[in-house]
Amino acid sequence: MTQTKASKRIAILYGSETGNAHDFASILSYKLRRLHFAHTLSTIGNYSPSHILNCKYLFVICSTTGQGEIPRNGQERSDGTRNNTLWSFLKRKDLPEDFLSHVHVSFLGLGDSSYPKFNYAIKKLHERIVNQLGAKELFARLEADEQCLIGSNKGTGAGIEAVYFEFEKKTLKYLCDTFSLRKLNGELVKRQGISTDLYLEPISSLKKSDETENMIHNTEPPRFLGDDNVKIGTVLNNKRITAEPHFQDVRQFVFKGIEHEEYYPGDTISMYPCNSDEAVNQFLSLQPHWSNVADMPLEFNHGIPPDLMDGGLIGKLTLRGLLKYHCDIESIPRASFFMKIWTFATEIDKLERGREQLEQQREKLRQFAYDEDMQDLFDYCNRPRRSILEVIEDFGSLKLPWEHMTDYLPIIKPRYFSISSAPCDPNIELTIAIVKYKTILRRIRKGVCTEYVSKLAIGDSFRYKVQNKGTFHHNLKKKSMILVSPGVGIAPMMCLIRSNICKDISLFFGNRYKEHDFLYESTLREWHNDKKISLYTCFSRDKENSSDIKYVQDNLWKFGEEMTRKILNNEALIFICGSSGKMPIQVRLTFVEMLKKWGNFEEDEQAADYLRQMEKNYRYLQETW
Amino acid sequence: MTEGKSALVLIHPAVTTTPEKVIKVAQEAASEGVNVEDQFLINKLNDESATLAKGKYDVIYYITPESAEEIKFPSKLVPVIADSLKDGGLFFGLSDVYKVDALINGFDISRDKERYVWKKNSTNLSQGPAVIPLKARNKNSAPKNLPRFKKSPSAKLPVFKRKSEEPVKIARHIDDLDDDSDEEAQQFKAQFLKNLEVADELIEEEELITKNDQENDGITMITCKMTKTKRKKACKDCTCGLKEQEENEVEAVRKKQDTVVKLTDEDLTEIDFTIQGKRIGGCGSCSLGDAFRCSGCPYLGLPAFKPGQPINLNSIMDDL
């Protein structure tokens, strides 16, 4: 996209880890385009610091990662370089306090309050940009909480999407109030959004390639171009490590890269999954007019959309290839999906009741797109975890134009897994729980990526990247460590224990049944017997093997005196890993109680302060999902 | 700059859709020898994104579509306006609703050429106590129901910094923004971008988190009008029973599905249309898909279908 001077005046910058901030930034960008506002959309990392001088209106959407940090794409460029990014520039000590006085800014933070460093990234950006460098805030920032416990949606039961909508509403209102007119062919006209029944053509669309008329048939493994950081891994082992009758399938997944990989405890692998051929074929059968073009070579008319570059774009561009490797057709649709596609509900022929039913379908799709009360959308899509594919199946009137598919179909995002193998071991090991669950939908729900992983066989290859997170950067030598990791939270602990950086490790591990899902039982017992670790186990549904202790926090309490001593006398490091939600909160409360009972802290507040201090010094780490 | 009188126009956001009102005021002012130098949206003053120079204007006009009795104006801006007027300066646009604010801040209310106007006293009232009827002072006189006037998020007092003072104009279109950048300041700022390669000292990120940030203040809360019912979702490690309740609901729906889905000899699935009364329920919506089905519909959780035709097998087969 070419940048005009005007388009630099308004910038939407995002820092995104799992993709929510990216999604919301894209939706805001789309809304601005519908209102004829030229603007820049970029990750914070890719935004050139020199553009900030021309920026007047800045909208920042950022999640928080790791131990209260700005996500990777907020700190570095897509090519992995970190010097002279906007954020490293703005942190310069010599900037005057009115450096950003020409900027009007607003912030939206996305966070999860089960992390103690809730929304720290947006708080840091806010403090620096507004309070220290003098940018003017258009309205007080919003902080979304996945748990709805604190932040802007505290106690409302409304999810992070509702917080985004509030941000969007305020932003659009401000811009429309301030710039109520626009120039059209030299004339001033009232600024009006493009009518909702018009589809806004994306910046770049697909067309049949001029070069060749030949169909492309899959004879060789696909190649992915344009992302130098993406690597190809080969599967060495993919073994189920929970007992067969147990409901949960957990895999010990081992692979090898082509080059040697450098990684340390807490680092993760991002995997780029793809859709199954069944899903792709089903999509094509639901949109029969796509079928005869499905294998034709295609190209983009105005360049490759940047979102497609992460992980590399499939070398031979076809509808089938894009559906399989890039378009997230098994994801749950957002309101913005309906906003883009509802006008394509045009086909009467497929409907048993003709025009009446067509109108009914159009109205319903429109309602999912624009209803402020998102209850219907929530009940139809989010609650039962309905996929885009299933929505298209239900709405027979949808006749989607393939030319714009990368605009209205979301892009598949990588998924992150903690590394379990010893640091820098060329055989990289992951511990992956295969996601499967029931909702009211007849078909069992499956995680797109873990379903993909579960089907990978030895010798298969896949795309990945290594994320060096520097989790233990500040803690190279610690006398003691207390590791708390129920379930698959054990994954990074395996790497940490294998790294031998600490001689006194207490591992609190928990699962449901001793006989079914005691992950890495023999290895852990061996380490315990060799005094490499002290292992404390509990099994929440297993009265026989764990009668008095249900959860990891109960076990912590049981050995509270000893652990408190380690914390206070040995400056032990605490690392909590596992499922987000109540576990990390309960564990934290348990530490507070321990400090009070055995650590001479009289009040809750003092104990909590001590934990906050530990966090600040990177002695209290948490990795939950 | 002209020799004439200098004026400021303040605009209610709703007026931006009718720019002719603003033009009319400017023309009338011009006919009286008054030159409109600056123009601000009132909410810019309110959120302190625009500031006013002291003692600069002879006349200030506030343009609002509200009727005189219903004007909502942030009281905290009255002293700001008083400060920016020259002694004896005139302020048009408010009404007796803000009479008390006028008096406190040293305005006389009078009529000038049959127009209602506030006139700034030439004596500086702040040096002596102002006599005001206490009764009329309403402690809660801050305007309500005026969402555009957001309270400033920071508890800081308004700071009138010269450096950050930019004339903020009503831009007619986005390109107007290009005109009002302060070249000198931008050049000064640009210096910092020249030597990007020089490793400068950086601030400590951790120090950006202040104690205050750990509390839940200074942020915008959402005004959640949309949830009819709370979208409560069971936690992953739910112990309160919500998860069981959800699971029971799911099981109940799946049981109902079993009454309409059967395995045929070939192990294929199809909707059983032979079940009396199930073919299309009384509501007539069974075949249309979940988006249109009733909450007790036995087909809930199954794809849309055409009556008489087997349901799309691919979508559900693999898990039966």
**Could you tell me which residue, B50 or A37, shows the higher pLDDT?**
A37
**3 state SS of A608:** helix
Contact A166 B220 (CB under 8 A): yes
Shortest alpha-carbon distance between residue B111 and chain A (Å): 32
Angle between helices A20-34 and A160-178 (to 10 degrees): 30
Q: Tell me if A118 is assigned to a ligand binding site.
A: yes
d(C-alpha A149, C-alpha A114), whole Å: 9
Contact A6 B287 (CB under 8 A): no
**3 state SS of A242:** coil
Give the mutation candidate from A97, A128, A156, A442 for the B interface (greatest B CB count, under 10 A): A442
Cα distance between the two ends of chain B: 83
Pairing of strands A461-467, A268-272: antiparallel
State the average pLDDT over residues A500-509: 94
- Report domain extents, chain B: 5-136, 242-319
H helix and E strand count, chain A: 22, 25
State the average pLDDT over residues A163-176: 94
Give A173-221 pLDDT, tens digit per residue: 999 998 888 888 778 888 889 888 889 989 899 999 876 656 666 567 7
Q: Tell me if A110 is assigned to a ligand binding site.
A: yes
Residue B296 at interface with chain A, using a CB cutoff of 8 Å: no
Residue B193 at interface with chain A, using a CB cutoff of 8 Å: yes
* Cβ(A590)–Cβ(A553) below 8 Å: yes
Within 10 A of A547 (CB to CB), how many other CB atoms are there?
9
**Given B49, B231, B303, which is nearest A136 (Cβ)?**
B49
Neighbouring-strand partners of residue B110: B117
Angle at the Cα of A135 (from A129 to A140), degrees rounded to 5? 85
Give me the residues of B, 117-156, that contact A with CB < 8 A.
148, 150, 153-154
Contact B236 A89 (CB under 8 A): no
Give the mutation candidate from A177, A356, A485 for the B interface (greatest B CB count, under 10 A): A177
The pLDDT of residue B148 is 41
Give A548-557 pLDDT, tens digit per residue: 888 999 999 9
DSSP secondary structure string, A529-595? HTTS-EEEEEETT-TTT-SS--SHHHHHHHTHHHHHHHHHHS--EEEEEE-SSHHHHHHHHHHHHHH
H helix and E strand count, chain B: 7, 8
A-chain residue closest to B288, CA distance: A394
d(C-alpha A300, C-alpha B182), whole Å: 41
**Given B164, B205, B287, which is nearest A98 (Cβ)?**
B164
Within 10 A of B320 (CB to CB), how many other CB atoms are there?
13
CB proximity list for A556: less than 8 A, separation 6 or greater = A482, A484, A508, A536, A563, A587, A590, A591, A594
d(C-alpha A337, C-alpha A108), whole Å: 21
Give me the residues of B, 11-30, that contact A with CB < 8 A.
13, 16-17, 19
B-chain residue closest to A330, CA distance: B315
What phi and psi, each to the nearest 5 degrees, are found at residue A532?
Answer: -75, -35
DSSP secondary structure string, B85-113? EEEEEEEES--GGGHHHHHHTTEEEEEET
d(C-alpha A495, C-alpha A624), whole Å: 16
The pLDDT of residue A230 is 93
B-chain residue closest to A625, CA distance: B236
**3 state SS of B238:** coil
Strands (E), chain B: 5-11, 34-41, 57-63, 85-92, 107-112, 115-120, 261-263, 269-271
d(C-alpha B119, C-alpha B10), whole Å: 17
Give me the residues of B, 224-263, that contact A with CB < 8 A.
224-232, 235-239, 249-250, 253-254, 257, 261
From first to last of its 320 residues, what are the pLDDT tens digits of chain B?
446 789 999 988 888 777 888 888 888 888 888 888 888 888 888 888 788 888 899 999 999 888 887 888 888 888 889 989 998 898 988 888 787 778 778 888 887 667 888 888 875 444 434 343 343 334 444 443 433 443 444 444 444 433 333 333 333 344 444 445 566 777 788 888 876 666 568 888 878 887 665 555 678 888 755 554 555 566 555 667 777 888 888 888 888 887 776 644 343 344 544 444 444 556 778 888 999 988 888 888 888 887 666 665 555 554 43
The pLDDT of residue B236 is 58
Contact A157 B227 (CB under 8 A): yes
Complete domains list, chain A, with CATH: 5-190 (3.40.50.360), 480-624 (3.40.50.80)
CATH architecture of residue range(s) B5-136? 3-Layer(aba) Sandwich (3.40)
B-chain residue closest to A165, CA distance: B222
Contact A438 B254 (CB under 8 A): yes
Closest CA to A286 of A225, A224, A373, A344: A344
Closest CA to A461 of A262, A280, A241, A224: A224
The pLDDT of residue A303 is 93
**Given A38, A53, A375, which is nearest B174 (Cβ)?**
A38
B-chain residue closest to A372, CA distance: B226
d(C-alpha A313, C-alpha A243), whole Å: 39
Pairing of strands B85-92, B57-63: parallel
Shortest alpha-carbon distance between residue B267 and chain A (Å): 16
* A440 neighbourhood in chain B, CB within 8 Å: 249-250, 253-254, 300-301
B-chain residue closest to A389, CA distance: B315
d(C-alpha A184, C-alpha B43), whole Å: 27
pLDDT at A2 over 60: no
Sign of CA pseudo-dihedral A137, A138, A144, A150? positive
